[in-house]
Chains A and B, each alone.
Chain A
């Protein structure tokens, strides 16, 4: 079985590095984006099994990204984890967008993110579309 792909989007490269190392060591294939537009493009292109995205990003916020992905049949079922800075409040409506399965505050525990990723990916049925 080919490696599962996770897309990580964050404008802070140190976060990208930390999560990449953690997830790669656990056997996942990782692709990264540093802004919302790039993340959207990569998500549509690679159809990852999971998206981990920061809330605040240039061009397109994590929330808007998830919203856009939800409106397309190809990407609407991809689960997402949203990372927010401590104390950043989000309205209930925003939090309950379907594809956002978990909201995690920073500083997060990399171990917990990995555990979350394992759980969310295991829950999804195997992808039937082959990424172009």
Chain B
């Protein structure tokens, strides 16, 4: 097809011709029954289709006589000016030609051309002149012409005026149907997008990792648009020294490092944070030469809040290397907008979690730090508690709460006099009574914080005993809350295996034996059994490693960074 400029026009014209072609036989049928020859020509005045009595005659005529063909083309071309043409092929020639333009909106896109013969055509002299003019063999054509239907001139004139209307109506109807089909396709596309927006909005939950949501989003975008690949880059929060996270889908041959590099390059080039950047052709641009092997075109949508860019969505390569269409660009932009809000919330949530646990670690470190022998004790009890909770089959979320409870179990020691807390050697009866207050002090401190209400039992009751001889409440057996029994076991193990003022750390095997001995009396027998069923030496090694990590001063510095945006 000749380049007419702008892909949309060529497609529409092609579709129009297809639609008209499909409807042509039905339209032409009554006319050919009336004895007219009817033909369909495209916008380049090429004959596409024809029908009518003695079609062979007409076909042969066009084939043998260039002049005749050119004359028809001339008339057809004339109709392209906009108005139907009704005329004699030649003056006094006896051949009536009716040419109606096929219109696509206001552009001519072809022609419906009909020919009818009047009595005059079959006059010997007229016929002879016709054959001479158009250089056809009189004898041959005379034979074929004899079978052709003939009409009175006034009949032909009547047909002409009716056909012009009929052709016009046919044109309008077929094009209308074509438009309906087009609209329906567009509508179907809108439905897909609406459906996606609903699903995406419904699926955005703060409790799911952004990477999961973003991957889903990209997969959906991939199936709805004509883009070859999508990638999302998220920059880490300021206080974490990790690399940006990348989610990729589609058939683009780039590594995550490539994606991050492209992201950084484009982000730095963006004039206004928040504006989409579309590059339809990277080939030839030296800035993108490094990516020439896989990058053809891309669109970049920054994810930004308050002028701060924290990530971006990249649409990579378009099918057929064609341009991104404006509809696609807008749609992805809308989803990027929606995702921004969601990701920001998730990061805020993450931020707060980090802040919270960071503060807690700092708090318990400060308490433990009073006594060098108990340094790191709370963290280790927390870790052990979580280990035991997992063994007991508690769900992940619960195990996290056990960790928290373990971390805070000795927070009450802050209310104990230092003289008692840091005394070397054994405590007196009075001093011991004082010390025994720490579980209840701890519970009391946390009473005012509803968010941690569920962990308080672990703090208040971690010194209870199964035989009821513990403190502060003297609860027995299963009266003791599960949290208390778990923390109690964890506390017991760590106390035995670390150095104290009054004795050195016991080896793991001795601790194991001691736990076995106290199982049922002091400690919960089921939990003890579960704990001892493990390879305790291996667990102890892991515990020691963990212990070494959490006294890392790095943690304290990070908390400062969380509290404000500038240090």
Contacts and interface: CB of A to CB of B under 8 A. Distances in A.
B187 A18 contact: yes
Interface stretch (B178-186, B319-327, B363-371, B523-531): B178-186
Contacts of B187: 14, 17-18
A17 B191 CA distance: 13
A21 B223 contact: no
B195 A109 contact: yes
B191 A107 contact: yes
A18 B196 contact: no
Nearest to A17: B184
Contacts of A112: 195
In which size bucket is the chain B interface? Answer: 10 to 19
A22 B192 CA distance: 12
A58 interface: no
A75 to B, nearest CB: 28
A16 to B, nearest CB: 9
Interface in A1-52: 14, 17-18, 20-22
Nearest to B183: A17
Contact of B180 (A17, A109, A110): A17
B181 A110 contact: no
A29 to B, nearest CB: 16
B207 interface: no
B184 A18 contact: yes
Contacts of B180: 17
Contacts of B184: 14, 17-18, 20-21
Contacts of A111: 192, 223
B22 interface: no
Given A21-B188, A22-B188, A108 B195 contact: yes
A18 B194 contact: no
B212 interface: no
A108 B191 contact: yes
Nearest to A104: B195
A89 B188 CA distance: 25
B198 interface: yes
Interface string B185-205: 101100110111010000000
Contacts of A20: 184
Nearest to A112: B195
Nearest to A109: B195
Interface in A96-132: 107-112
Contact of A21 (B185, B195, B198): B185
Chain B contact residues: over half helix, strand or loop, or mixed? helix
Interface in B57-92: none
Size range of the chain A interface in the assembly: 10 to 19
A18 B195 contact: no
A18 B191 contact: yes
B191 A110 contact: yes
A108 B191 CA distance: 6
Contact of A107 (B181, B185, B195, B223): B195
A109 B195 CA distance: 6
Contacts of A17: 180-181, 183-184, 187
A110 B194 CA distance: 11
Contacts of B196: 109
Interface string B21-32: 000000000000
B198 A110 contact: no
Interface in A42-101: none
Interface in B306-353: none
Nearest to A86: B198
A21 B194 contact: no
A18 B192 CA distance: 11
Nearest to B194: A107
A18 B194 CA distance: 14
A14 B183 CA distance: 9
Interface string B163-188: 00000000000000000110111011
A18 B198 contact: no
A109 B192 contact: yes
Interface string B384-426: 0000000000000000000000000000000000000000000
A22 B187 CA distance: 11
Contact of A109 (B181, B185, B191): B191
A107 B184 CA distance: 14
A2 B192 CA distance: 30
Contacts of B185: 21
Contacts of B198: 107
Contacts of A108: 191, 195
B26 to A, nearest CB: 18
A22 B372 CA distance: 74
B148 to A, nearest CB: 40
Interface in B459-515: none
A21 B192 contact: no
Interface string B95-124: 000000000000000000000000000000
Interface string B424-453: 000000000000000000000000000000
Contacts of B183: 17
Nearest to A110: B188
A113 B121 CA distance: 60
Q: Which of B181, B185, B188, B194 has the most CB of A within 10 A?
A: B188
Nearest to A25: B185
Nearest to B199: A109
B254 to A, nearest CB: 27
B193 to A, nearest CB: 9
Which of B194, B195, B196 counts the most A-chain CB atoms under 10 A from its CB?
B195
A17 B184 CA distance: 6
Given A21-B185, A110-B192, 14 more contacts: A14-B187, A17-B180, A17-B181, A17-B183, A21-B181, A21-B184, A107-B194, A107-B195, A107-B198, A108-B191, A109-B191, A109-B196, A111-B192, A112-B195
Interface of A: 14, 17-18, 20-22, 107-112
Closest CB pairs A-B (n = 6) = A17-B184, A109-B195, A110-B188, A21-B184, A107-B194, A18-B188
26 contacts: A14-B187, A17-B180, A17-B181, A17-B184, A17-B187, A18-B184, A18-B187, A18-B188, A18-B191, A20-B184, A21-B184, A21-B185, A21-B188, A107-B191, A107-B194, A107-B195, A107-B198, A108-B195, A109-B191, A109-B192, A109-B195, A109-B196, A110-B188, A110-B191, A110-B192, A111-B192
